[in-house]
Amino acid sequence: MSLTQNLSSDGSTFTIQIDGKFDFNLVQDFRAAYQQVGTNKPKLVVDLRNTEYMDSSALGMLLNMQKNLGDTVSSITISNCRPQIKKILQISRFDKKFIID
């Protein structure tokens, strides 16, 4: 399990990619990653293409991120979800709080 972050060359998109399990073990790394967003109001993308597992603590981390960032970002998108991850997000009604593609 690992986490990487990247700001696009034009500064418009900040991406956090999670590989493996998105669970309580990533709390500190995830928080540190989204605190690097900066002040240019980029679009934030949480890329889950390589995420195999997500638990309730991951849902809490996403909500805390949204609360802490507030107007610091223009939007938050959760992208490239595997079907089982997308189902968890939909059951939890995260499609009402985030853009999910």
Domains in the chain, please, with CATH?
2-100 (3.30.750.24)
> pLDDT tens across 1-48, in order?
799 999 999 999 999 999 999 999 999 999 999 999 988 899 999 999
Please list the alpha-helical segments (H only) found in 24-93. 27-34, 56-69, 83-91
For the record, the structure tokens of 17 come out as 């990619």
> pLDDT tens across 55-76, in order?
999 999 999 999 999 989 999 9
* CA terminus-to-terminus distance, the chain: 22
pTM (whole model) above 0.85 = yes
